[in-house]
Amino acid sequence: QVHLQESGPGLVKPSETLSLICSVSGGSISSDYWTWIRQSPGKGLEWIGYMYHSGGTDYNPSLKTRVTISIDKSKNQFSLKLSSVTAADTGVYYCARDRYDSGMDLWGKGTTVTVSS
């Protein structure tokens, strides 16, 4: 059974870069779309972006200048980097597997990130 697990610092200082990793176990990362979504009280669920198995990416235009999603197939994990963070980036960050038109069928448990000095 495939499981996703987010990891990374729970506290990031303003203007620094938020870095999270999603580890995929029980299955290969060599297919499907690998997605990051966040949830904050002020903005609900927000789609951040995804990387396709082929290496292409799509990002939310509102975050595009600050976000990078990458895949490390050798470690079966994918990552999120969000630069120049502010308090508005505080929230729970989820990784998920998107089977394109079949929806996001697997989600990690989420990791809470707080942006504060």
Partner 1 sequence: DIVMTQTPRSLSVTPGQPASISCKSSQSLVHSHGKTYLYWYLQKPGQSPQLLIYGVSNRFSGVPDRFRGSGSGTEFTLEIRRVEAEDVGIYYCMQTIQLPFSFGPGTRVDVK
Count of residues touching partner 1 (by CB under 8 A): 18
DSSP calls for 83-113: -S--GGG-EEEEEEEE-GGG-EEEE---EEE
47 scored as a contact of partner 1 (CB under 8 A): yes
The DSSP call for residue 13 is -
> In the complex with partner 1, which residue's Cβ is closer, 16 or 40?
40
- Cα 11 to its chain centre, rounded Å, is 16
- What type of residue sits at position 25? S
Residue of 27, 46, 52, 53 interacting with partner 1 (CB under 8 A): 46
Site for partner 1 in 75-104 (CB under 8 A): 94, 101-104
Residue of 75, 109, 112, 114 interacting with partner 1 (CB under 8 A): 109
Stretch that binds partner 1, among 10-18, 19-27, 57-65, 75-83 (CB under 8 A): 57-65
The DSSP call for residue 55 is S
> In the complex with partner 1, which residue's Cβ is closer, 100 or 116?
100
CA pair distance 4, 40, nearest whole angstrom: 20
Contact indicator for 27, 2 with CB cutoff of 8 Å:
yes
112 scored as a contact of partner 1 (CB under 8 A): no
Residue of 57, 58, 68, 83 interacting with partner 1 (CB under 8 A): 58
